[in-house]
Structure 1
Amino acid sequence: MPASSKFKSTLSTAYVTRHISQSDWSDFDAPFPTVFYFDALILQYISGCSRAVYCGATTAHRKKRKNQSAKVYTDIDCIILDMDKKTYPQIILLGDSIVQNSSYLRDGFSFTACLEEHCARRLQVVNLGLSGYNTSHALKIFEHLIPDPASAKVAYLLILFGANDACLPGGPTGQHVPLQEYKDNIRAILTHPSVKAQNPEILLVTPPPVNEVHLEEEDHAKGYDSLTRLQEHTAQYSAVVRDIALEFKDRRVSLVDLWQAIMQKAVQSRPGAATDINKIGTKDSGDDRIMRSLLTDGLHLSGEGYRIFWDEVRPLVGKQWSREPLDAPSWVFPHWSIAPKIN
């Protein structure tokens, strides 16, 4: 029996289609996802999609893999992709103002723009940064933040909370979350039913350090009588994130140690100087030119700070993309030269 004769043709969106389920496609002895050449045209069948792609060919050649001979399938004459059924998987950035501000252009650099360029044609970048929020705020509305898998697939979830949780207890902002509660909240986010339903790759980010001298200036300008945050105190919240990332390392959670990356940059910018990394950013170490260049107000990242953040995140998103062939099978829609079109 010809390979395509088992599929019943139906009229859909003005196209003749042949519905191919994953089980039907397995009759072709093809792994998911796989690439076929149809008369020199290329298609990719995406796992989980119920339909394959039209190429107007009568012969399909399975892409030759290492140590395998190419397979030929005949009479695959009319297979069409319902383009309107396809949506971009998402990478969601979830956090406080450090995430919200990542979409801004600072000193000629935008973290979110770099991420969008990196993910072009593969992932939709969704910035859900919520300025002023701590983990308790986030958990209260969490069910509204992560979409249902039926409406959108979340491939990556970046989580960065802690800068507000680490406000000093009894401080004027009222944003403080005790350390143990913060730890419980981060765990609750990672195990939330909405996250479990999506099963994304999770990038768990440590809150960055502060620059106490600069932050004190800003706090006084806001009318606060004392510092809202201390370097040593914020460091404890970063340590909690490291511990949780280690605890969840076998559950698709990767650590992005933004605290360490920024502190290392501050150390490296002092060549030949004896530096106690634990003192950097504290009032005891005095005004710090390097930390001022990395944090705009002693708390939020500058353009250079976001560059450091980007350097930590980029290797963790789309690790396999650089190894793809020119036809880029991870693209949601194919190259223009082989894309379906009207007329």
Structure 2
Amino acid sequence: MSYDKFLLFGDSITQFSNTLQNGFALQPALQDLYVRKLDIINRGFSGYSSEHARVILPKILESEANIKLMTIFFGTNDSFDHINDIQTVELPRYKENIDYLITLAKSKDIKSIVVGPSLHDPRMCLEFFAEGGRQYTKDPNNNQRLYEYSEAAKEVAKKHNVPFIDLWNIFRETKGWTKEELFEVSIAKDNWSIGEDGLKTFLSDGIHFTGESYKILYNEIIKRIDENYPELKSDNLSINFSDWKDINPKDLSSIFK
């Protein structure tokens, strides 16, 4: 009765992937695709960084059996520009942490997909933080820092020969922006060349994803599975328990065959 599992491991963007966003939610979409084949397990932790992740993942793997596939999606909080003393993880340590998470997954024979951090809108972010009583006078993060962390995660994924989802560049290319245009985004500048509403396509509050972003992430996850782990494609997995038409009415134990 124990299903094989697909683990979504990350921060708040993973935690919130079960919430409907403009008619779409990532985790239910994956569960629908893998129904009766893999259970989709959400282990997203709002506000957590890769430093916290390396403490948590061993405990998760102790308590959850039969994990076959997982996403590793950290970096958004790690790259915050020192706005508090708990979230920021310096770039070299961030790389070490991602390396550790991939290595641990491999040691348990779990296939992994690394997801890099995406884009940032400081004005929306500051409004979001202010609603929670947090006041800042500088950009909490910036797109250049996020790019550097994304590139670092990509480098580690390449070292381990595991697939990487480059959301930073995928989102950028979707809108036709240049890196330099995104680097300019700051509360210190009155006008951004990408437009005041440009990042709202992808970000609901300057950090977290819209339904459009989750759709993109969903499609990229499926693409990476198809290309790198075809044995774990939904079409290549058998359903758990017999199809109802194959059940022998005189022997209901045939359900399990």
1:198 aligns with 2:108: yes
Contact 1:168–1:176 (Cα < 8 Å) also in 2:
yes
- The one-letter code matched in structure 1 to 2:39 is Q
Task: Report what 2:49 is aligned to.
Answer: 134
Q: Secondary structure at the match of 2:171?
A: helix
Task: Report what 2:29 is aligned to.
Answer: 114
Q: Describe how 1:138-157 pairs up with structure 2 within 5 A.
A: 138-147=53-62, 152-157=65-70
Q: Secondary structure at the match of 1:191?
A: helix
Tell me how far 1:87 sits from its aligned partner. Answer: 2.1
Q: Distance in 1 between matches of 2:50 and 2:175?
A: 28
Q: In the superposition, relative to structure 1, how do residues 323 and 203 fare at CA in structure 2: closer, same or farther (>3 Å)? A: closer
How high is the TM-score relative to the length of structure 2? Answer: 0.84
Contact 1:212–1:231 (Cα < 8 Å) also in 2:
no
Task: Report what 2:179 is aligned to.
Answer: 277
Q: Describe how 1:320-331 pairs up with structure 2 within 5 A.
A: 330-331=238-239
Task: Report what 2:72 is aligned to.
Answer: 159
Q: CA RMSD in A?
A: 2.4
Contact 1:158–1:203 (Cα < 8 Å) also in 2:
yes
Q: Distance in 2 between matches of 1:227 and 1:329?
A: 46
Tell me how far 1:320 sits from its aligned partner. Answer: 5.2
Tell me how far 1:329 sits from its aligned partner. Answer: 5.6
- The one-letter code matched in structure 2 to 1:166 is S
Tell me how far 1:201 sits from its aligned partner. Answer: 1.3
Q: Secondary structure at the match of 1:239?
A: helix
- The one-letter code matched in structure 1 to 2:181 is K
Tell me how far 1:216 sits from its aligned partner. Answer: 3.4
Q: Secondary structure at the match of 1:183?
A: helix
- The one-letter code matched in structure 2 to 1:123 is L
1:68-121 Cα deviation digits (max 9, x unpaired) = xxxxxxxxxxxxxxxxxx421100000000000111001111111110111111
Quick one: higher RCO (CA 8 Å, sep 6+), 1 or 2?
Answer: 2
Tell me how far 1:280 sits from its aligned partner. Answer: 2.6
Contact 2:231–2:237 (Cα < 8 Å) also in 1:
no
Task: Report what 1:213 is aligned to.
Answer: 123
Q: List alignment gaps of at least 5 residues for structure 1.
A: 1-85, 268-274
Q: In the superposition, relative to structure 1, how do residues 329 and 223 fare at CA in structure 2: closer, same or farther (>3 Å)? A: closer
1:175 aligns with 2:87: yes
Task: Report what 1:187 is aligned to.
Answer: 99
Alignment coverage as a number of residue pairs: 240
Q: Distance in 1 between matches of 2:237 and 2:74?
A: 34
Tell me how far 1:322 sits from its aligned partner. Answer: 7.1
Structure in which a larger fraction of residues adopt helix: 2
Q: In the superposition, relative to structure 1, how do residues 87 and 219 fare at CA in structure 2: closer, same or farther (>3 Å)? A: closer
Q: Describe how 1:234-249 pairs up with structure 2 within 5 A.
A: 234-249=146-161
Q: In the superposition, relative to structure 1, how do residues 229 and 334 fare at CA in structure 2: closer, same or farther (>3 Å)? A: same
Task: Report what 2:169 is aligned to.
Answer: 260
1:178-209 Cα deviation digits (max 9, x unpaired) = 000000111111122xx244211101000111
Contact 2:126–2:135 (Cα < 8 Å) also in 1:
no
Q: List alignment gaps of at least 5 residues for structure 2.
A: none
Tell me how far 1:173 sits from its aligned partner. Answer: 5.9
Q: Distance in 1 between matches of 2:71 and 2:215?
A: 16
Which one has the largest radius of gyration? 1
Contact 1:160–1:206 (Cα < 8 Å) also in 2:
yes
1:128-168 Cα deviation digits (max 9, x unpaired) = 000000011111222211246xx621110111000000011
Q: In the superposition, relative to structure 1, how do residues 313 and 223 fare at CA in structure 2: closer, same or farther (>3 Å)? A: same
Q: Distance in 2 between matches of 1:143 and 1:117?
A: 28
Q: Secondary structure at the match of 1:227?
A: coil
- The one-letter code matched in structure 2 to 1:200 is I
Contact 2:172–2:178 (Cα < 8 Å) also in 1:
no
Q: Distance in 2 between matches of 1:291 and 1:225?
A: 21
- Name the stretch that deviates more: 278-287 or 114-123: 278-287
Q: Secondary structure at the match of 2:6?
A: strand
Tell me how far 1:342 sits from its aligned partner. Answer: 5.2
Q: In the superposition, relative to structure 1, how do residues 196 and 248 fare at CA in structure 2: closer, same or farther (>3 Å)? A: closer
Contact 2:33–2:234 (Cα < 8 Å) also in 1:
no
